Amino acid sequence: MMKSLYLDPVKCTGCLQCEMACSYENTGTFNPAKSRIKVFAFEHEGRKVPYTCTQCAEAWCQMACPVEAIKVDPATGAKIVLEATCVGCKVCTIACPFGTINYVADSGKVQKCDLCGGDPECAKACPTGAITFVDADWTGLEKMRQWAGRANTAVL
């Protein structure tokens, strides 16, 4: 059974523990700037919202990659970047409509959430349960896809 990250912005306090855990897991340093999950601050509303790669079923980043450096991890279903194959062209960063795949100047490659191999550190570090790793069917992902696929989704 596939699992996915469920992000509940109502529970987010903006503590950035998710960003710290992610950066440490992936770079060995506590540096939110190197995190693959971000917490966006809506200052006027006083809200914080975590966001990261949604692991799209038909990932535009994957389809756009000219060297096929983005593959599906068969164990987790996550779209992962094969660093040895990535040439750092950034086409995937342009293709992603959510802005969740990023170029890393230090390596000259791109990075995105890989679900930590099926045990996401961001979810484990979140003290409020704003980030959880749940059955993908529970997140309503399939319902959202069905709604998006309807022919008449225009707002009146």
Query: Looking at residue 145, what is its pLDDT?
Result: 58
Dist. CA 46–CA 54, nearest whole Å: 24
Q: 3-class DSSP state for residue 111?
A: strand
Residue limits of CATH 3.30.70.20 in the chain: 1-52+118-141, 56-112
Contact 101, 56 (CB under 8 A): no
Query: Looking at residue 125, what is its pLDDT?
Result: 98
User: pLDDT of the chain along its 156 residues, tens only?
Assistant: 688 999 999 999 999 999 999 999 999 999 999 999 999 999 888 899 999 999 998 999 999 999 999 999 999 999 999 999 999 999 999 999 999 999 999 999 999 999 999 999 999 999 999 999 998 766 555 555 565 566 554 544
CATH class for the domain made up of 1-52+118-141? alpha beta
Dist. CA 58–CA 42, nearest whole Å: 29
Number of other residues whose CB lies within 10 A of the CB of residue 21 = 22
Query: Looking at residue 144, what is its pLDDT?
Result: 54
Dist. CA 86–CA 61, nearest whole Å: 12
pTM over 0.85: no
CATH 3.30.70.20 fits 56-112, yes or no: yes
**What sign does the dihedral 132-133-138-141 (CA atoms) show?**
positive
Torsion, Cα 125 126 131 136, to 10 degrees, reads 40
Query: Looking at residue 2, what is its pLDDT?
Result: 82
Query: Looking at residue 156, what is its pLDDT?
Result: 42
DSSP assignment of 27-84: HSS--GGG-SSEEEEETTTTEEEEE-----TT-HHHHH-TT--EEE-TTT--EEE-TT
Q: If you ran DSSP here, which 8-state letter would residue 130 be given?
A: S
Query: Looking at residue 153, what is its pLDDT?
Result: 47
